[in-house]
A = this chain, B = another copy of it.
Amino acid sequence: MAAETTAAGPDAATDGAPVAAAIPPERLLLGPGPSPVHQDVLDAQARAMIGHLDPWFLKVADEMADMLRTVFRTQNQLTYAVSGTGSAGMETAVVNTVEPGDTVIVGINGVFGGRIADTARRAGADVVALEEPWGRVVPAERVASAVKAHPEAKFVALVHAETSTGAHQPLQEVGELLADTDTLFLVDTVTGLAGVPLEVDAWHCDVVYSGTQKCLSVPPGLSPITFSPKAEAVLDRRSSTVRSWYLDVSAVRRYWGAERAYHHTAPISSIVGLHEGLRKVLAEGLDARWARHAEVGRLFQEHIQDRDATLLAQQGHRLPQLTSFGWPQGVDEGALRKRLLEEYGIEVGGGLGDFKGTAWRVGLMGEGATHDNVDRLLHAIDELLEG
């Protein structure tokens, strides 16, 4: 090649002290994500690199997609893992369904509904926002009225498990309402999947995405997603090109389908890790896993209320795997949370948006949903409150 001038090289190796290897401290992850990951999953991720078109890897990817179908409770052919975190799954769901000028109906009762609305607007949609106070769920009647007023709506979007508030959105009634219409049902279950019941097919959910780092207990980096035949038909009928190249399902599905056409290099080791994580989920069984989350979450919610904390999600609609609660006035939540991390090695999350500075978010998700972890957390909280 033509000679190009390179600078005399100040490498980190010669420029300053080399950077030390990153050895993490011990942490018990009881925040809103990531959740604790089983060593088998970490080991699976570390089990050597392999090509993304290698026949062995394609078989593993197919097995992974099959297990996703089982966990989603769906027969949907178009089921795969988006090469990005949960928010990339959200964007995939939105930008592939929306065309400029479309109307969409979005329930907003926390951060993540707002995010769907924001993304839909960027894709050119007119958003009908069904706003509810943070912590409450969106009533099916509100959705029914909105659909009646906007029968042309491309989709109704609801957040199954609102990670910012701990609200547990019912889905079935809305799914049944939309089943006989042209409107799709888009569901964010980033924090829901494998933690609380979800029946993608039986509840008529059309585009459903999740994350790996919540109740699946797999490191962040992938977003499981599934599209119903009704949703696929909408994708096939698009008249405009999807605004994203990276997330364009019409191209990505040629890799995940029989054709195996190269689109982008899949995050290979992450997919092998997800394969192992799903094996663990299915070995436990979904019913058992839902029951474990329900029991452990209820236990924590009972006991934290004994500490004068106020649960922020509305009664009857509380996620067991993610509890958002406000401390009584006078408690410095930030200082308490910092000491919990530094002195006990336990991570919990602070409040977002309306709840910033006054609330905590405690996740008892996946591997983290154990009686022992509830005991450790409550014991640490009691010592800190006394101290």
Contact = CB atoms under 8 A, between A and B. Distances in A.
Interface of A: 1-2, 4-7, 9-15, 18-19, 21-27, 29, 31, 33-37, 40, 42-52, 54-57, 60, 63, 66-67, 70, 73, 83-88, 90-91, 95, 115, 118-119, 121-123, 168, 170-172, 197, 199, 201-203, 211, 213, 219-221, 241-247, 262-270, 272, 275-276, 278-279, 282-287, 316-318, 341, 347, 352
Contact of A203 (B4, B43, B123): B4
A211 B265 contact: yes
Contacts of A242: 122
B1 A168 contact: yes
15 contacts: A1-B170, A2-B316, A11-B70, A12-B67, A18-B283, A24-B50, A26-B48, A27-B54, A54-B341, A54-B347, A87-B246, A118-B245, A121-B241, A219-B270, A220-B267
A42 B49 contact: yes
A320 B26 CA distance: 43
Chain A interface, DSSP helix/strand/loop, else mixed: loop
Interface centre among A10, A42, A48 (most CB of B within 10 A): A48
A213 B15 CA distance: 26
Nearest to A42: B46
Contacts of A7: 73, 199, 201-202
A221 B246 CA distance: 13
Contacts of A46: 42-43, 45-46
Contact of A56 (B25, B35, B42): B25
A282 B18 contact: yes
Given A6-B202, A7-B201, A22-B63, 13 more contacts: A1-B318, A4-B170, A7-B202, A9-B286, A13-B284, A19-B63, A24-B48, A34-B52, A86-B265, A95-B244, A122-B243, A211-B265, A244-B244
A221 B272 contact: no
B56 A245 contact: no
B265 A33 contact: yes
